[in-house]
Amino acid sequence: MKKIIICLLLVFSLLLITGCKKENKPLEVVKSDLQDGNKFNVYLENNDRIIYLSSSLKEVYYYDGSKMRLKEYIKKTWQTMDDSIKHITDLLTLENTIKDGGTKIYSSMEYDMKLIECNRINYKRDIYIGDYNLDYDINLICNR
């Protein structure tokens, strides 16, 4: 009986040490109460690029040691906006590349996110973020 108790204590201790703690995903999408995800609001303006957030989303968080809003992560880190966006798109799957200059569409069911990175011949380089089910017309979005 004593051996069983000691074994149970050891197993319990190992579980505590090796990772019973909750792991944060690197991205968290918080949805809003609005249902029309095809309306976009300016989320962040940075030099020649604008990031738009779908009205169906309330906020996007990025975990880089601590939880921070995506716009804070982009503005406050030492890297460029392109580097910050690459960290996000590295977590998503490249769904499609449009032959309009290189617009890319990324998505992830796991993070419930779709990201459209416009790269038009006319130098339109804006970014649109919505939930995974975002219904979009690439010509309307990237020609705003």
Domain boundaries, the chain: 23-142
Residue 69: other Cβ atoms inside 10 A: 16
pLDDT in tens, 39-70: 889 999 987 789 999 988 999 999 988 899 99
Phi, psi of 76 (to 5 degrees): -100, -10
Q: What is the average pLDDT across 76-92? A: 87
Distance from the first to the final alpha carbon of the chain: 73
Q: Tell me what pLDDT residue 74 has.
A: 86
* pLDDT over 60 at 6, yes or no: no
Beta bridge pairs of residue 46: 49
Q: Phi-psi region for residue 101, left (φ > 0), alpha (ψ -120 to 50) or beta? A: left
Q: Find the mean pLDDT for residues 110-134.
A: 87
Whether pLDDT at 22 is above 60: no
pLDDT mean over 107-118 = 94
What are the φ and ψ backbone dihedral angles of 5, each rounded to 5 degrees?
Answer: -65, -45
* 85-105 tens-digit pLDDT: 999 999 999 999 988 778 899
